[in-house]
Amino acid sequence: MAKKGKAPGLTGAPINPQAVTGKMTAAELIDTAFLAYNGRRLRDACRLFTEKMLEPDVTVGISVTGALTPAGLGMSCLIPLIENGFVDWMVSTGANLYHDTHFGIGLKMFQGSADTDDVALREAGVVRIYDIFFDYRVLLSTDSFFRELARADEFQHPMSTAEFHYRAGRYVAEREKVLKLNRRSLLAAAYRHGMPIYTSSPGDSSIGMNLALLEVEGYQLRIDPLADVNETASIVYAAKKAGGRSAVFILGGGSPKNFVLQTEPQIQEVMGVAEKGHDYFLQVTDARPDTGGLSGATPSEAVSWGKIDPNQLPDSVVCYVDSTVALPLITAYALARRKPRKLRRLYEKRDVMMQLLADSYEKVRRQRHKRGEA
């Protein structure tokens, strides 16, 4: 005979939602109607981000893959997250930043149909990103914009991608002001709010292609991806060293996902500085884990690399939903449930954070030397 009380698995809240109405806010809809399957995962993602990752002592890094800025998600979601202090640093594909710039310098992209004849589009000088269309001259104008700014004296030295994006963001912000545009560019918003943006593969975009051309012309700008590795690690280390926590919010996967996560192995494995891993892990992806690709790799797998603190594994959510669906809902939920946080302006603290990490590594080096280790 079964023991009295609820059977295992029957201790959760009952499924008994109220009827959906047209008067509900997005946050109310998520809380009351997203009860199972990937809807439930999305609700868990919203709550993890809002209730735990946005606590005052948590530094939030976000990675951005997929063509999100061409779809308008830079303007609709990422800029509000930056303005409200809900993300503190970013790793993005160069393509997202390149297409983001179109909007900031007054160029346009249009909604279209993915079924359109691509041969006809090519003949008409129209470029397609699935169902987003734009004139080929948009590419040429944006190429010219980046080449022009990168020829300026302030760019003629080696720099991290964060420094390049910050300086470029100032030019985009000035163009927005001249054109009387408001809150169009992610790069401009990051510049205004002192938020560093990194690109894990700086040569893999039209921005990188144009900077490569300037190298052929003899200009001295050099993007230093190794500086990015150290700077991003220093952001995480400084947050944890000060008694705070670190969270990662991953949109998609790919190289930016690894770059935001590898900060902990850089600290622990390569530098030998004691650390435990990121405290919170939130990923929105449509990739499966069983193919072996990084985009589908789970938080538990990341534990084996030292990327995620194993003690914090319950505070990890993988939401199997398209980012274009999930990001607006997560953003709306957070804005409804959380007050703005104080801006960390981490770009302006890079030197201090790097010195903290360098000092800790020097202590490790001295200890290794005493033990006769390499």
Written as six digits, the tokens of 103 are 């909007």
Q: Given this model, what pLDDT does residue 305 score?
A: 65
Assess if residue 23 is contained within a domain: no
Does the annotation mark 339 as catalytic?
A: no
Compute the average pLDDT of residues 98-119: 97
Report the CATH number at residue 59: 3.40.910.10
* pLDDT band at residue 312 using 50, 70 and 90 as cut-offs: low
Q: Give how many domains the chain has, as a whole number.
A: 1
Written as six digits, the tokens of 353 are 């954070």
Compute the average pLDDT of residues 171-196: 97
Q: Given this model, what pLDDT does residue 306 score?
A: 66
Q: How far apart are the first and last CA of the chain?
A: 65
Q: Is the pLDDT of residue 2 over 60?
A: no
Distances in whole angstroms, Cα of residue 288 to Cα of each of 25, 48, 203, 297: 31, 22, 27, 8
Compute the average pLDDT of residues 311-324: 84
91 neighbors 256 (Cβ within 8 angstroms) = yes
Q: Which of 3, 180, 276, 307 is catalytic?
A: 307
Q: Given this model, what pLDDT does residue 17 score?
A: 94
Question: What is the tens place of the pLDDT at every residue in 138-149?
Answer: 999 999 999 999
Give the count of beta carbons closer than 10 Å to the beta carbon of residue 228: 22
At which residue do the structure tokens 């490790």 appear?
364
Helices 94-104 and 206-216, packing angle to 10 deg: 90
Q: Is the pLDDT of residue 310 over 70?
A: no
- The letter for the amino acid at 304 is S
Kind and range of the H or E run holding 5: none
Assess if residue 76 is contained within a domain: yes
pTM (predicted TM-score): 0.93
Assess if residue 20 is contained within a domain: no
User: Which of these, 118, 44, 53, lies nearest to 85 by C-alpha position?
Assistant: 53
Structural domain for 244, as ranges: 36-371
Give me the DSSP letters along 336-350: HH-PPPPP--GGGGH
Q: Which of 8-12, 43-47, 295-299, 363-367 has the lowest mean pLDDT?
A: 295-299
d(CA 342, CA 79): 15
Kind and range of the H or E run holding 187: helix 186-192
User: Which of these, 323, 248, 254, lies nearest to 295 by C-alpha position?
Assistant: 254
Assess if residue 105 is contained within a domain: yes
Across the chain, mean pLDDT equals 93
Assess if residue 29 is contained within a domain: no
User: Which of these, 148, 183, 181, 189, lies nearest to 165 by C-alpha position?
Assistant: 189
* pLDDT band at residue 268 using 50, 70 and 90 as cut-offs: very high
Q: Is the pLDDT of residue 5 over 80?
A: no
Higher-confidence position of 302 and 105: 105
Assess if residue 12 is contained within a domain: no
- The letter for the amino acid at 231 is E
Beta-carbon-side half-sphere exposure of residue 315 (alpha carbons within 13 Å): 21
Assess if residue 313 is contained within a domain: yes
Q: What share of the chain is helix, strand, coil (3-state, %, to 5)?
A: 55, 10, 35
d(CA 241, CA 212): 38
d(CA 183, CA 72): 12
Assess if residue 11 is contained within a domain: no
The dihedral built from the CA positions of residue 62, 341, 56 and 236, taken in this order, carries a sign that is: positive
Q: Given this model, what pLDDT does residue 7 score?
A: 76
Question: What is the tens place of the pLDDT at every residue in 18-37?
Answer: 999 999 999 999 999 999 99
Beta-carbon-side half-sphere exposure of residue 129 (alpha carbons within 13 Å): 18
